[in-house]
Every structure is written in structure tokens, then in C-alpha cells.
Amino acid sequence: MSNLALRPANNEDHDELVNLLACAYGEEADCVFDAERDFPYLQAVRDYYGAGGGDIQVAENHLGIVGMVSWLPIKIEKSAPDRGLSKGMLLDHLYVHPLVRRERLGMDLMFAAIDAAEVADCPVMETWMNVKFHRGHKFLRFMTFDVGQNTRIAPDLQKSTERRYSLDIDDFLDALEQDSEFYDSFFSPPDEPTPDDDHGDIDDPKKFVIDHSEPWR
């Protein structure tokens, strides 16, 4: 795991959180970042997530805030043949600054959200990923999230397309406990980065191949 401790974010972290998100959006072509329009709650993140029963955690070093993760409890529609709604946890944000990637910080942030879901007795974690965020898709697939065929249009400035992912919390934790190779894949030394990686076409579900051979964390 990384050597950076997590702490709860507070309302005074606004500027650094905006800078972190701006870095993530700036890496992807044709992504427009408008914090005031699309992320107004960053003005008072502690109040926003606290009111929703969730949380936001950050990691920082000499550069300032270099990682963030946030989550909120939600209701998730049950799969057939069941009907109705069940408890779930929305993984709302997870970002890591480019200068500290490949140091397992993303995994620390993800496990903080998974731990929160387990404590809250939420059997499923759900998240929606902008189809242009190729690194994010790789990371979710490495963390064994199931990629769905469901997409939605986000209410942001660009009307971005997002794809749904879900993770069965109990299945994930059972696999960590029972399968040593699966466990080692998370806690072995990081692999070297592969900057020439071919992302494929995220928009085309037929080309959306799940491949755990090249973790992006």
C-alpha cells in the first residue's frame, strides 16, 4: 500500500480539490472542467457528504492534496428475479494526482470506500465512469468491478457519457481472504508503468475487454 495516510476532507480544502480534479480532466482529450457549474458542492464538501450520510477522504504530501475518494449511501435496484431496492454505496469520486500514481494510493482510496460500504452493511458498490477516462476504466476492471452495458448522460457541461460499474462487496472480500494469488495481485510490489498502453474503444461495448494482466493503479 502507499505511504500516505488518509484524512477527512474539510470545507477549506476546496481549492486543492478543484486543482486535483482539474489535473484529471486535463489529461483526457476534449474533457471540459467547470468546477463552479459541475461540482458546486466542492465549496463545502464536508457539509455536502455529511448531510448525505457519506464521507470524503483525502491524501496529501508536500505537494498538497494528491488523492481523494468520496462515497454516498444509495438505493440500488435488485437484479432479476428479485424486485425492489437494496442498500448500496455510490463511489462518487476517486482521483490520484499523476505525480503519485503507481504508488498504490488509488488502492488505499478504494479500500477506504470498500471498508465504509462493509461497515454500512451495503452489499454492492456502484460507480459511473466517464467513457473518456481510460485510466479510470482500467483501474475499476483491475479492482474486479463488473462492467455493465448501462450508460447514462451526465448533467455536466459536455453531457458526457458514463458507464456503470458495480462491485459485490462480500464476493470481493471473500476472494481476498481465500485466494492467495488474488490477494497478492493487490499487495505485491507495483508493476512498471506502460505509457504506450492501447486503451481500445471504451465507447464500444463489444471492444470493452476485461483484462487483469495490466493493472493500472
For the chain, list the domains and their CATH numbers. 6-207 (3.40.630.30)
Highest mean pLDDT among 38-47, 84-93, 169-178, 194-203: 38-47
Are 45 and 92 in contact, with CB atoms under 8 Å apart? no
Q: Give the pLDDT of residue 149.
A: 79
Mean pLDDT of 11-36: 88
Q: Looking at the predicted structure, is the pLDDT value of residue 199 above 70? A: no
Please report which confidence band the pLDDT of residue 148 belongs to, taking 50, 70 and 90 as the band edges. confident
Q: How confident is the model at residue 203 (pLDDT cuts 50, 70, 90)?
A: very low
Residues 94-134 have pLDDT tens digits of 999 988 988 889 999 999 999 999 999 999 999 999 888 88
Average pLDDT rounded to a whole number, residues 156-170:
89
Among the ranges 60-69, 129-138, 171-180, which has the highest mean pLDDT value?
A: 60-69
* Least confident piece of the model among 23-27, 69-73, 174-178, 194-198: 194-198
pLDDT score, position 10: 97
Which of 58-62, 67-71, 119-123, 204-208 shows the lowest mean pLDDT across its residues?
204-208
pTM for the full predicted model: 0.81
